Amino acid sequence: MRELYPPIEPYKEGKLQVSDIHTIHFEESGNPEGKPIVLLHGGPGGGCPPFYRQYFNPEKWRLVMFDQRGCGKSTPHAELRENTTWGLVSDIEKLREHLGIEKWVVFGGSWGSTLTLAYSETHPEKCKGLILRGIFMLRQKELRWFYQEGASYLFPDAWEEYLKPIPPEERHDMITAYYKRLTSADAQVRMAAARAWSIWEGSTSTLLQDPNIMQRFGESTFAEAFARIECHYFINKGFFETEGQLLLNVDRIRHIPAVIVQGRYDIPCPMGTAWELHKAWPEAEFIVIPDAGHSMSEAGIRSALIAATDKFSSL
């Protein structure tokens, strides 16, 4: 079982203006002469906590992390305008060019796996390898499972709290009902909805509920960006042209070395989605963690991801 590398600090931080509205915060850590890898965080709207750096050997990797539009240290906070999947794909390319990187490995979990697939299918020639975890392809059946029905049967107590901000007559379409409140002019309404939405995900992200994760997801600043941006992407169907676009276009990346790590008991991103990707992309190494849920901090997932980053450092 692999343990995290020791904590490190970035050797460089910066800001990059990527649109008329948005400026993203980025950092580099590890070895400036190491192999470049970019981490695409979850959410959308989750940001990059410092412990993410510990999944990468600091002697071998030049690790690039950035907070996507509207979250973390990027500005403006929780902004929905000019915030789309394809805007983020463009941001990744702008950041790569800004840093003078020719090709890099891309690492992404949960929504980060969605964005990794969208980016790599758009720019396969810029990807040296792909490490994915907790596969999410933002299809309607995946959204219905977690936000409308399905996961509620496994976590009925947490689901009850998720329902509270929404009156019974609106519960037939929870994403639309939440979007109405997360974009309300009333700050109290927005925050109540944001915390309930965010805590629902934090409550279901690990095989055994982790109070520390639930507390972090419930923090006001985090929850506001996380819930608003997630719901914005979901109500807009990920800004994809067609349902299942990422799976349909997987042939564009089948030649790229890749590993997929999936917890068998992942509730937010159930294994059926990863299995579909595996069947369409048999060249990618597929690793199922038998005693894990969704979170990259769970022991088996953590260990598999570190083993993957170690392996890919020699590509």
What are the tens digits of pLDDT across the range 166-176?
999 999 999 99
Is residue 294 annotated as a catalytic residue, yes or no?
Answer: yes
Report the SS3 class of residue 130: strand
Phi, psi of 109 (to 5 degrees): -130, 150
User: What is the per-residue pLDDT for 91?
Assistant: 98
CATH code for the structural domain at 12-139+239-312: 3.40.50.1820
User: What is the per-residue pLDDT for 239?
Assistant: 98
User: What is the per-residue pLDDT for 229?
Assistant: 98
Sheet of 285-289: strand order equals 12-17, 23-30, 61-66, 35-40, 104-109, 127-133, 258-263, 285-289
User: What is the per-residue pLDDT for 203?
Assistant: 97
The percent of residues in the chain predicted with pLDDT above 90, rounded, is 100
Domain boundaries, the chain: 12-139+239-312, 141-237
Q: Which candidate in 29, 203, 205, 266 is catalytic?
A: 266
Assess whether pLDDT exceeds 90 at residue 280. yes
Average pLDDT over residues 157-165: 98
Angle at 63 between CA 60 and CA 68, to 5 degrees: 165
Give the whole-angstrom CA distance, residue 232 versus residue 111.
Answer: 13
The percent of residues in the chain predicted with pLDDT above 70, rounded, is 100
Average pLDDT over residues 77-104: 98
Is residue 266 annotated as a catalytic residue, yes or no?
Answer: yes
Cβ proximity of 32 and 99 under 8 Å: no
Q: Which candidate in 74, 110, 203, 295 is catalytic?
A: 110
In this prediction the pTM is 0.98
Is residue 110 annotated as a catalytic residue, yes or no?
Answer: yes
Residue 315 pLDDT level (bands cut at 50, 70, 90): confident
Q: Which candidate in 29, 120, 294, 295 is catalytic?
A: 294
Q: Which residues of 222-251 are buried (b: 16+ CB within 10 A; e: fewer)?
A: bbbbbbbbbbbbbbebbbbeeeebbbebbe
Selection from 208, 187, 218 nearest residue 267 by Cα: 208
